[in-house]
Structure 1
Amino acid sequence: MLADIRKIAALAWPVLIGQLAIIAFGVIDTAMVGRYSAIDLAALGLGNSIYISVYLGLTGVVLALQPIAGQLFGARRYTEIGEEARQALWLAAALAIVGFVIMYFPAPLLAIAHVPPALYDRTDLYLRITAIGLPAALAFRVYSGLANGIGMPRLVMMLQVAGLAAKIALNYWFIFGGLGGLGVPALGGPGCALASTVVNFALAVIGLVLLVRLEVFAPFGIFKQFCWPSWRRQAGLLKLGLPMGLSFLIEVSSYAFMALFIARFGTTTLAGHQITGNFGAVLYMTPMSIGVATSTLVAHAIGAHNHDEARRLARRGIATACTIGCCYAAISFLLRPSIIAAYTPDAAVLAAAMPLIPIMLVYHLFDTFQTVTAFVLRAYRVAVVPTIIYAIALWGVGLGGGYLIGFNVFGNVPAWLNGARGFWAASAASLAAAGCGLFLHWRSISTRYAQEAAVADGTGTSSAPLSSVDQDS
């Protein structure tokens, strides 16, 4: 047991540090803009919710490379990894065009929220700037997906930490303006988007150079030859990536639409929701890092036909993440006044966030369970059924239930559940339902894999790892 936990931890801690660096982008944005103006903070929350929905939906498609590379690495089929990486770069380029159009012309999305005129222009500018940086962000995700898939997350972590250092300096410059002869006007919230765009391009360029220069990537021969898109391999990436991307989109869009609906309760409530969600995102980085690490090890085991080991590693990863999640929730509940005060000095915003934190911590516990389980399923290249589970739970129970409770549609909801609290409570329930569904599906899939492997061993045959064009289970 301890040996498995050590293996998971060895891969998880670099992922955690790297992801904390990335999530610190949002924390720094919120903290700095919160000291610039409440209007810019609300615009940041709204704009970032839309951006994250688009970005993560597209990222999910690109990150199909990670489990594919993981299984191929476990099977020692190195040249195929290089081909999959080249195809993933083509896919990222195509997806970037789609995302750019959505974010550079955000009027239809902003209309859903009935955004006040004071917020509209700031949010619109924020999204237009982030749209420019989207191609670079997706290119870097190809690099990170490949590095994580072969069990080298430190190569991603180092770049993400360096990006954070640059982000802090650029944020201060672009949000508040100044710096003598290099002065720029104070941009407020949109300044965060400009800083992130600059950093994303730097990370993308460095990541692509490392794919050429580092010895660890040499066996894959990623750039030894040019290739056009292969429709067979693109189909394989999309068969796994589209359900993954849709799962990400369902999960994040449910949160984004929460922000759009909560915006109707006013700027102060929206700002309190932004702080709560931002802190929840910080907590989420730990189960996500454990999920990535567990998924990598499980994929390697599947590629090497060690299905019993894959099941054992999956159970260890889920149990470890849930234990840590309970500790986080207890500590955060005790320290919640100090945590909120670190975000903003505004007493009204602080009061709006305080009752949301305990509900968010329950949300976090269920989120931990479903996150790691979902990553494990991706290691098996299973994505269709999880997507259906997400759609029913998050859009139906979470968003639909949140609307009914938060707006007290039927007039029978207790007062303490009205408004933003109702949306958070329904979201927590939705993640509980999703986690149970995903876990039961994983048990069924892993049992079937183990039984098929046992039959193959008994007959003296061996089934190869799933290719990128095999059917999803």
Structure 2
Amino acid sequence: MYKTFSIKEKLSLFMRILMPILITQVGIYLMNFFDVVMSGQVSANDLAGVAIGSSVWIPILTGVNGIMLALSPIVAQLLGGDKRDEIPSVVKQGIYLAITISIIIFVIGAFILKPGLGYLAIDPSVENVAYYYLVALGFGMIPLFVFNLLRCFIDALGQTKISMFVILIALPLNVFFNYLFIFGNWGVPALGGIGAGVASAITYLCTALITMFILQRMHPFRAFNIFSNWVRPSLTAFKEQLKIGVPIGVTIFFETSIFAAVTLFISAYNTETIAAHQAAMNYATIFYMVPLAIAMALTIAVGFEVGAKRYQDAKVYSQIGISSGFLFAILAGIFIFVFREEASKLYSQDPGVISLTQQFLIYAIFFQLSDGFGTPIQGALRGYKDVNVTLGIAFVSFWVIGLPSGILIANFTNLGPFGYWMGLIIGLGAGAIALISRLINQLKIYSAKKS
């Protein structure tokens, strides 16, 4: 990151930060995409099992990663405020925190996972796939969360191409391991959907090791001595990161867990409906990576300018990011509509699944508009370290408005499972409206401050 003086310079720098983040996010999500697609080639039960497993895993993954995301505005503001000497200690404490949280989740999961899945009363073969898929993923949690913590440090320095490089290595590794463990090749037993979890856990480990090697050997990371001169874990440092990270994590958890809740409600329908729902959600989420990447880039850019007390520059970055997100949302909606049949056939050869997937994708178009507008706003607010009100907005829009609306529409109209998607659209729309109001308020507050 560096100071810019014109809108043209800001747009250029923003795109230089954004594009590697976007490629990184797409690469990360493509791992899940290939898990689902490749599992679906085994059987509908394997696809449904991975769908159920993902519905449990993704809220945990994104919620904890939200806590890790606190490092981005912290480091960005330290960098903007010329306090580089404080950065290494913050990163080291973040690593301790990532490991601690991973262990806690693993222990909790060991006690509640099996009973929780049993409560869903799903087909035993689907439950078996979901359970062991999650068990396999659990063994990759520590390297995964450490990688995400380190990635936040790398990106906050503006070195987003490095994260992109790591993921571009990890993605083909994940596909290769899927090829081995899902289908049983090169003497490896065929594990079906369970093999996708094994492949992902191994990939997480490889990704963390590659990232640690880069930070130890390459400029400018080497100068920070992240893996030397270790300090003891500090509860005070944990508290500082958690103060920002927990609201971010819980906000993301509220958003992703409502999608997981919808998947669990839809598990009451037949296997074809579950598979089609997951296929449509998986495909639509690929497009969500763009507003998510814009949000992450905004957090870095806005945080850097706020740290340097250049509040007008922070406002301009916010405007650039939000406009870009909304424009993309319109284009994504058109693309999904035009190619919905071709997309459906990527996931299954079952005519029933293909037909249902196309219907779900029509509803997914409206996700794009709300996400393209609301998600970048969240990123801008994180740059200001404004996270608590966003948490409240997420809870009300998704769990007070969105999910209850979906339940009512699904059970008291003829839309059936599509009613839950209508509830999601209503919740996302309500959240986007509330978020823009909050950002406008923040911009007024900071505009009154002396730059």
**TM-score by structure 2 length?**
0.96
> Partner residue of 1:463?
none
> In the TM superposition, what is the alpha-carbon distance from 1:112 to its structure 2 partner?
4.4
Per the alignment, do residues 108 and 387 of structure 1 end up closer, same or farther by CA in structure 2, a change over 3 Å counting?
farther
> In the TM superposition, what is the alpha-carbon distance from 1:9 to its structure 2 partner?
1.4
CA contact (8 A) 1:104 1:127 kept: no
Q: 2:158 aligns to what SS in structure 1?
A: coil
User: Can you list the C-alpha shifts for 1:105-126, whole angstroms capped at 9, x where unaligned?
Assistant: 4124324432222211111111
CA contact (8 A) 2:294 2:379 kept: no
Q: 2:232 aligns to what SS in structure 1?
A: coil
Say whether residues 1:157 and 2:164 are aligned partners: yes
Per the alignment, do residues 102 and 352 of structure 1 end up closer, same or farther by CA in structure 2, a change over 3 Å counting?
farther
Alignment of structure 1 residues 429-468 onto 2, 5 Å: 429-453=426-450
> Partner residue of 1:423?
420
User: Can you list the C-alpha shifts for 1:350-378, whole angstroms capped at 9, x where unaligned?
Assistant: 11111111111101210121111111111
Q: 1:371 aligns with which of 375, 379, 397?
A: 375
CA contact (8 A) 1:61 1:242 kept: yes
Per the alignment, do residues 426 and 2 of structure 1 end up closer, same or farther by CA in structure 2, a change over 3 Å counting?
farther
CA contact (8 A) 1:5 1:317 kept: no
> Partner residue of 2:254?
250
- Extract unaligned runs of 5+ from structure 1: 455-473
> In the TM superposition, what is the alpha-carbon distance from 1:215 to its structure 2 partner?
1.6
CA contact (8 A) 2:405 2:426 kept: no
> Partner residue of 2:3?
none
> Partner residue of 2:4?
none
**TM-score by structure 1 length?**
0.91
User: Can you list the C-alpha shifts for 1:83-111, whole angstroms capped at 9, x where unaligned?
Assistant: 11011001101100122134444124324
Alignment of structure 1 residues 407-422 onto 2, 5 Å: 407-408=411-412, 413=413, 415=414, 417-419=415-417, 421-422=418-419
Give the AA of the match of 1:132: F
Alignment of structure 1 residues 127-146 onto 2, 5 Å: 127-146=134-153
Give the AA of the match of 1:165: P
Say whether residues 1:357 and 2:355 are aligned partners: no
> In the TM superposition, what is the alpha-carbon distance from 1:207 to its structure 2 partner?
1.2
Distance 1:112 1:397 in 2: 26
> In the TM superposition, what is the alpha-carbon distance from 1:2 to its structure 2 partner?
4.1
Alignment of structure 1 residues 188-337 onto 2, 5 Å: 188-337=192-341
Q: 1:41 aligns to what SS in structure 2?
A: helix
Distance 2:120 2:378 in 1: 30
CA contact (8 A) 1:363 1:425 kept: no
Distance 1:137 1:8 in 2: 27
Distance 2:196 2:230 in 1: 36
Q: 1:390 aligns with which of 374, 394, 398?
A: 394
Give the AA of the match of 1:189: G
Say whether residues 1:120 and 2:124 are aligned partners: no
Say whether residues 1:8 and 2:14 are aligned partners: yes
Q: 2:450 aligns to what SS in structure 1?
A: helix
Give the AA of the match of 1:75: G
User: Can you list the C-alpha shifts for 1:161-192, whole angstroms capped at 9, x where unaligned?
Assistant: 1000111111011001031xxx1211000100
> In the TM superposition, what is the alpha-carbon distance from 1:58 to its structure 2 partner?
1.1
Q: 1:354 aligns to what SS in structure 2?
A: helix
- Extract unaligned runs of 5+ from structure 2: 1-6
Give the AA of the match of 2:68: V
Distance 1:4 1:222 in 2: 30
CA contact (8 A) 2:72 2:299 kept: no
Distance 1:432 1:102 in 2: 34
> In the TM superposition, what is the alpha-carbon distance from 1:199 to its structure 2 partner?
0.7
Q: 1:23 aligns with which of 7, 11, 29?
A: 29
CA contact (8 A) 2:216 2:226 kept: yes
- Percent identity over the alignment is 29
Q: 2:116 aligns with which of 100, 109, 116?
A: 109
CA contact (8 A) 1:363 1:429 kept: no
Distance 1:337 1:268 in 2: 16
> Partner residue of 1:62?
68
Distance 2:110 2:447 in 1: 48
- How many residues matched? 444
Give the AA of the match of 1:320: S
Distance 1:82 1:297 in 2: 20
Distance 1:309 1:189 in 2: 48
Distance 2:148 2:385 in 1: 18
CA contact (8 A) 2:328 2:372 kept: no
> Partner residue of 1:177?
184
> Partner residue of 2:105?
99
Q: 1:251 aligns to what SS in structure 2?
A: helix
> In the TM superposition, what is the alpha-carbon distance from 1:321 to its structure 2 partner?
1.0
Distance 2:108 2:37 in 1: 27
**Considering only aligned residues, what root-mean-square deviation do their CA atoms show, in Å?**
1.3
Distance 2:276 2:8 in 1: 41
Distance 1:337 1:71 in 2: 46
Q: 2:267 aligns to what SS in structure 1?
A: helix
Q: 1:228 aligns to what SS in structure 2?
A: coil
Give the AA of the match of 2:431: A
> In the TM superposition, what is the alpha-carbon distance from 1:396 to its structure 2 partner?
1.6
User: Can you list the C-alpha shifts for 1:125-147, whole angstroms capped at 9, x where unaligned?
Assistant: 11111111011100101111101
Q: 2:448 aligns to what SS in structure 1?
A: helix
